[in-house]
Amino acid sequence: MKALLNHRSIRKYKGDPIDDSLLQEILTAGTRASTTGNMQVYSIIVTRDEEVKRQLLPLHFNQQMVMQAPVVLTFCADFNRFNKWCKQRNANPGYDNFLSFFTAAIDALLAAQNVCIAAEEKGLGICYLGTTTYTADKIIEVLKLPKGVVPVTTVVMGYPDEQPELTDRLPLAGVIHHEVYHDYSEGDIDQIYQQKESLPLTKKLLEENKKETLAQIFTDNRYTLKDNVTFSKNLLKVLEQQGFMNNDRTE
């Protein structure tokens, strides 16, 4: 509970390496995550080599923690291994569709979260990189991912060189629904976002970005419609290229 409730995204790292035995223990914890049908349709690419990290750096928008952190982990939805096993055991796999990608992506993210919690429990810092799906096509090239494998998230890991404050979260009442979904009234929305909107950080962001509301920073600056559409199209092409869009096959 302590590790969970004190999670911080770390973006500055010391140069100290992570011991092989410690990394092995953390990765083993990752493999104990829940998984669909015990198929474990994911793979984890462990990157320590400076040259490979240099190739990954621009694909993660030149975030320097990619180079600072001693370990970069790329979590992939992976039906390649499972498909090969099926074929070698005289079974006909039907996993070249979107549902199978979604299943494998869930498996990969569950493993990633186990890894992150285990790392934080051992005194390491982590940060998820949401850029992975934006540049999945280029990451596939760098990491030599075969058909049936798609990167879904990246985690940098190392010993923290900073101790940031805990990031704010919405109140529990804002995300929990009892028995059925209860849609939000205007008053509910005002109440749920009141604390976030009143933070000193929010005031600073509004001044820096010359915006009227925090919501506008998200829609106009951080996650724009144009970017969402561009990255969506790119990811859909990747899914087709990697063999996950054959949604009409029946046998």
The domain locations on the chain are 2-165
Between CA 117 and CA 6 the distance in angstroms is 10
| pLDDT at res. 177 | 98
| Average pLDDT along the chain | 97
pLDDT class for 47, splitting at 50, 70, 90?
A: very high
Which residue has tokens 């990157």? Answer: 47
pLDDT class for 249, splitting at 50, 70, 90?
A: confident
Which residue has tokens 């749920």? Answer: 192
| pLDDT at res. 143 | 98
Is the pLDDT confidence value at 251 over 80?
no
Is the pLDDT confidence value at 190 over 80?
yes
CATH, range 2-165: 3.40.109.10
Is the pLDDT confidence value at 211 over 80?
yes
Q: Are 136 and 109 in contact (CB under 8 A)?
A: no
| pLDDT at res. 250 | 75
Between CA 214 and CA 156 the distance in angstroms is 28
pTM: 0.95
Is the pLDDT confidence value at 4 over 90?
yes
Q: Three-class SS of residue 9? A: strand
Q: What is the average pLDDT across 122-134?
A: 98
Between CA 36 and CA 103 the distance in angstroms is 7
Q: What is the average pLDDT across 178-194?
A: 97
